[in-house]
Amino acid sequence: MSHRVVVIGGGFGGIHAVQRLRRAPVEITLIDRRNFHLFQPLSYQVATGALSPGEVAYPLRAIFKSAPNVHVMLADVTGFDLEPRQVRLANVPGMDAAPPSVEYDTLIVAAGSSYSYFGHEDWRQYAAEVKTLESATAVRAQILRAFEAAELMTDPETRAAEMTFVVVGAGPTGVEMSGQIAELARDTLRHDFRAIDPRTARVILVDALDRVLSAFPTSLSRRAHRSLEDLGVTILLDHTVVDVNQYSVTLSAKHGGTERIHTRTVIWAAGVTASGLGRQLSELSGAELDRADRLTVEPDLTLPGHPEVIALGDMVRVRAGGGDPVTYPGVAPVAIQQGRYAAGLVGDRLAGRGTKPFHYVDKGNIATIGRGRAVAQVKFLKLSGLPAWLVWLCVHLWYLIGFQNRLLVCIKWSVSFFTHGRSARIITYQPTPEAVQHSDKGAGDEARASGVRGG
């Protein structure tokens, strides 16, 4: 029997592990609750209408269609049995075909993370995030719907609340998101409405730290700050969110005092918590967790006491040489390098070769702010403005999965750059069951009236 490798997660880590193992003498099962790989660094562009969902997502089966030893399984992982080496499964909504479990010889867990609301889970219903494709399209609808609602209103205070957008978290996602909303309001939409001037919209970026992009050098952080202000973004640093509801956000300043901002749109990009699968592995193995529920793994990314289980990506921190565990940045290059390392580890074991601990090669940081505006640190080189934006563009095109996606995004960005347009400004709704039934009935009536027959 071939060596059975089960990979959990179709993100960057899981995808690159499978790509490296596809030519090895192993049978691979890739499990994910979605049937696509999402290029998460660009999900905020879906949320602001710059790109369509299909341009940042690629079907998992299409990626591995030429690899006969790779089996893609659409299922939800519910737990593990480490001694019999089994992964327990459940059906995803709308399907009843998943087996109760799958067996493995090597398990690679790359389940990622989600945004943390710091113990205030009730805020989640009012403060959306853009970490998934579904949430990104929902945020896009919310942003566009806010302008549409403001167009219909006559009360100045209510209209101002609709046209106020609060982004919580001044890391790369928060900076990119606030810059894109400001460009959308002040550039793309400025001639689209009659009763309102979209350029009067307020975009507020909030963070508890004392500067934006705190992981970047101070000089680049200052440049990003200035670029955001040039776009009209209001930046509130040293401010902590203390309440979020349907109508407002309440902030507490570091030096005292609170401020209530009336808004209908809050976007959350502050802090992450690891996948719940990490906690399960911790309970089964005794491995430590940090405050963000990141699982502590050995220098070779294996679970303590279970070398057959490899965990990687946002959900782990790595014990390095007997010192304190290292928490790597939650960015795609880390997951990609760890995924490739995990594949190499499996190959070395099968070939009887010795292995070395994982070593991350930091290739730098990049964050875009708007059209032709970005900051980048590549080794000792610090860039800002158009040069940094061109580097950002090339890097993201390079990492996109699929030639078709690269071509479409390149064309879309080129057109957008010269025309200032955003073609994906579509408002979508989650229909209720009653609405679906009504729609189906209407479609059937129309088909019969037109003489159309189904085959």
With b for 16 or more beta-carbon neighbours within 10 A and e for fewer, the 212-224 pattern comes to bbeebeeebbbbb
Catalytic entry in 176, 259, 288, 434: 176
Tell how far CA 316 is from the center of its chain.
Answer: 17
Question: In whole angstroms, what is the distance from residue 390 CA to residue 420 CA?
Answer: 17
Query: The tokens of 245 are what?
Result: 């509801």
The mean predicted confidence, pLDDT, of the chain is 90
Q: What is the pLDDT of residues 391-446, one digit of tens each?
A: 998 888 887 776 567 777 877 777 776 666 676 788 877 654 444 344 344 333 33
With b for 16 or more beta-carbon neighbours within 10 A and e for fewer, the 2-40 pattern comes to ebbbbbbbbbbbbbbbbbbbbebebbbbbbbbbebbbbb
Instruction: Report the pLDDT value the prediction gives residue 244, as an integer from 0 to 100.
Output: 97
Sign for the CA dihedral angle at 222, 223, 228, 232 comes to positive
Mean pLDDT within 278-296: 95
Question: Is residue 10 predicted with pLDDT exceeding 90?
Answer: yes
Please say whether the beta carbons of 314 and 293 come within 8 A: no
Neighbouring-strand partners of residue 4: 27
* Tokens 């919310």, located at residue: 142
Query: The tokens of 224 are what?
Result: 């990003």
Neighbouring-strand partners of residue 369: none
pLDDT band at 447 (very low <50, low <70, confident <90, very high): very low
Distances (CA, A) of 35 to 62, 66, 92, 337, 407: 10, 17, 11, 23, 22
Contacts of 373 (CB under 8 A, 6+ apart): 179, 227, 231, 385, 386, 389
Q: What is the pLDDT of residues 56-66, one digit of tens each?
A: 999 999 999 99
Q: Is 162 a catalytic residue?
A: no
Distance, first Cα to last Cα, the chain: 44
Sign for the CA dihedral angle at 215, 220, 224, 225 comes to positive
Neighbouring-strand partners of residue 69: none
Query: How many helices and strands in the chain, by DSSP H and E?
Result: 12, 26
Instruction: Report the pLDDT value the prediction gives residue 398, as an integer from 0 to 100.
Output: 80
Q: What is the pLDDT of residues 163-173, one digit of tens each?
A: 999 999 999 99
44: nearest Cα among 53, 35, 36: 53
Neighbouring-strand partners of residue 27: 4
10: nearest Cα among 37, 43, 39: 37
Question: Is residue 132 predicted with pLDDT exceeding 80?
Answer: yes
For 20-95, list the strands marked E by DSSP: 26-32, 36-38, 57-59, 70-74, 76-81, 86-90
Residue 8's SS3 state is: strand
- Torsion angle in degrees (nearest 10) through CA of 171, 174, 180, 185: -140
User: pTM, whole model, 2 decimals?
Assistant: 0.89
